[in-house]
Amino acid sequence: MTKIKLLILTLGLSVFIAQAATVEEAMNKPDRLQGDIERDARSHPEAVIPLLRLEEGDRVADIWAGGGYYSELLADVVGDQGEVLMINNAAYKQFSVQGLAERFEGRDPIGVLVREREAEDLDLGENQLDAAVIIMSYHDIYHVDEKNGWRAIDSASFLSQIYTALKPGGRFLIVDHMAEPGSGKRDAQDLHRIDIAFAKKDISSYGFKFADSSDALRNPDDDHAVIVFDPKVRGKTDRFILVFTKP
């Protein structure tokens, strides 16, 4: 390895360590929700968020944010001058009623802007975002459940909107439940899982450049054969983390 490459790797590690410390500071805030504190042990945001290389004042979209666990942490990382767009569609909002009530009733997380948008119009703008995240929900763009209000999504339109919204150099991070290797998007429908190789190829096809990954959420005891809500694996599935950039 050349000295230049070693320097780059060392600098990258130092940035990650510094940002992990910032996330841990946010995790230790005295006013955090008890449910968030309990989730930390399984979500390890101190290993996930630093992959975004965020700076104070950055603007981030948390897409299909649910109850806003990541949104609040991201807002603390980007600081008072930054913004986090906490985006849910109608179905996710309904699914997250309790979590949203706990986060916002009597509380006002600074820098979190709540938006309800459907997949066909995320209203993200052009070259407006420094980063975007989809946590355990990327597979849902290949899931259809009309009976329960989850309409079919045009994946090309959805991912293209995110690409367009990111500034050059902006980062797009996904965390999702691992599916059987080679299964493509098949298990998104019944198991709420997706194949990591499919995800890499799919997202890259819209212009994104693969930048990074992490095994921080891997679990070899999950055999990828059951739905992620099964008590045997709920909250402890084998999960992958992928990061892409907009060139």
Instruction: Delimit the domains of the chain by residue range.
Output: 3-245
For the CA atoms of 7, 9, 11, 14, the dihedral, rounded to the nearest 10 degrees, stands at -140
Q: Is 31 helix (H, G, I), strand (E, B) or coil?
A: coil
At 130, is the pLDDT very low, low, confident or very high (cuts 50, 70, 90)?
A: very high
User: What value does the mean pLDDT take over residues 205-229?
Assistant: 97
User: What value does the mean pLDDT take over residues 30-35?
Assistant: 94
At 17, is the pLDDT very low, low, confident or very high (cuts 50, 70, 90)?
A: confident
Residue 8 has pLDDT above 70, yes or no: no
Residue 178 is given by DSSP the state B
Tell me the per-residue pLDDT of 182-195, one tens digit each, with 9 for 90 and over: 999 999 999 999 99
Say if strands 239-245 and 209-214 run parallel, antiparallel, or are unpaired. antiparallel
Neighbours of 103 (CB within 10 A): 25
Which residues lie below 8 Å from residue 10, measured CB to CB, with a gap of 6+? Answer: none
Q: Which two tokens stand for residue 38?
A: 């309990």
Angstrom distance (rounded) from CA 63 to CA 133: 6
Angstrom distance (rounded) from CA 68 to CA 71: 5
pLDDT at 2: 53
User: What value does the mean pLDDT take over residues 162-179?
Assistant: 98
**Dihedral pair phi/psi, residue 169, rounded to 5°:** 90, -10
**Dihedral pair phi/psi, residue 239, rounded to 5°:** -120, 145
| pTM score | 0.92
Q: Which two tokens stand for residue 234?
A: 């709920």
At 224, is the pLDDT very low, low, confident or very high (cuts 50, 70, 90)?
A: very high
CB 122 within 8 Å of CB 162: yes
At 180, is the pLDDT very low, low, confident or very high (cuts 50, 70, 90)?
A: very high
At 156, is the pLDDT very low, low, confident or very high (cuts 50, 70, 90)?
A: very high
Residue 134 has pLDDT above 90, yes or no: yes
At 12, is the pLDDT very low, low, confident or very high (cuts 50, 70, 90)?
A: low
CATH ID of 3-245, from 3.30.70.20, 3.40.50.300, 3.40.50.150, 3.50.50.60: 3.40.50.150
Angstrom distance (rounded) from CA 41 to CA 18: 20
Distances (CA, A) of 38 to 137, 228, 235: 20, 19, 11
- Angle 111-112-114 (CA atoms, 0-180°, nearest 5)? 145
Q: Which amino acid is residue 38, in one-letter code?
A: E
97: Cα separation from own chain's centroid: 19
CB 67 within 8 Å of CB 103: yes
Mean pLDDT of the chain: 93
